[in-house]
A = this chain, B = another copy of it.
Amino acid sequence: MTKVIIIGSGNVAQHLIAAFQNSQNLGAEIELVQVFSRQTGSVSHLLDLSQITNDLDTLAEADLYIIAVSDDAIEVISSQLPFKNRLVVHTSGSVPLKVLDDNNRKGVFYPLQTFTKNKAVDFRTIPICLESENATDYQLLDKVAKSISDKIFAINSEQRKALHVAAVFVNNFTNHLYQIGQEICQEHQVPFEILNPLITETAQKIMLLSPSEAQTGPAKRNDNATIEAHEAFLSNENHLKIYKTLTQSIQENGKKL
């Protein structure tokens, strides 16, 4: 049995706990032995109290410690661990491996997905990006990751940074465009829900076509009459600025091809 301990009780920690419990029920050779949470109450709906601690000094022995706390707390927590030379990883897309304390062997266990509390996800479809300092540790991370997901990638810190920045574009920024769409609908008394099938199809399309093949619309067609009509229609200065910036970027792209 490979023993795993999770440190943290937020979004990622809770989804990881559920995923390990699931895989354990299905007979995986991975055992979630303990969870650390500052407030034991945060995870008491998921685990037996005997498996929860709020004191780092009482952490049990394990093959792998997964630190799933806020980015800026990773360094401090890793330096407070009361043991040496064990494998300690964090789950962040933007924090380098080297931030972890030198007392222990370092690694990264980054699930590339956006988690929401109380919204179940199918963990088996979530890519997990792994990094470690040596091959033996990588093998252990790989084994643990495979027990909960079918999509495991070896990704170094530089590549992970690229993925994280790309994720900001396709997730955070895309969601902001949805919000602008909603604001435009509200202003003109149209239900935003009418756009739901379009939003779904736009995301599905790029599973089949590359984004550049899938690109349509007035900017791509250089349809200046429609672009001008849209710009005249947009009464919100900020919406207009974003419309112009992205239209120009699509048009510049067209010129390069």
Bound CA–CA A163/B245 (angstroms) = 20
Bound CA–CA A74/B244 (angstroms) = 27
Per-position binary interface string of chain A over residues 170-197, scored 1 when its CB falls under 8 Å from any chain B CB and 0 otherwise: 1111111111111011011111101111
A162 within 8 A of B: yes
Q: Which residue of B lies closest to A214 (CB)?
A: B175
A98 within 8 A of B: no
Q: How many copies does the complex hold?
A: 2
CB-contact partner of A202 in B175, B185, B207, under 8 A: B175
Chain B nearest Cβ from A161, distance in angstroms: 6
Contacts of A252 in B (CB 8 A): 238
CB-contact partner of A177 in B173, B187, B188, B217, under 8 A: B173
Q: Which residue of B lies closest to A206 (CB)?
A: B178
CB-contact partner of A199 in B119, B203, B215, B217, under 8 A: B203
A219 within 8 A of B: yes
The 10 tightest CB contacts between A and B, nearest first, are A172-B217, A162-B188, A179-B211, A203-B203, A166-B181, A178-B211, A170-B181, A166-B184, A173-B246, A169-B181
Residues in chain A within 8 A of chain B (CB atoms): 71, 94, 112-114, 116, 119, 121, 125-127, 129, 151, 153, 155, 158-159, 161-182, 184-185, 187-192, 194-212, 214-220, 223, 226, 229-230, 233-234, 238, 241-243, 245-246, 249-250, 252-253
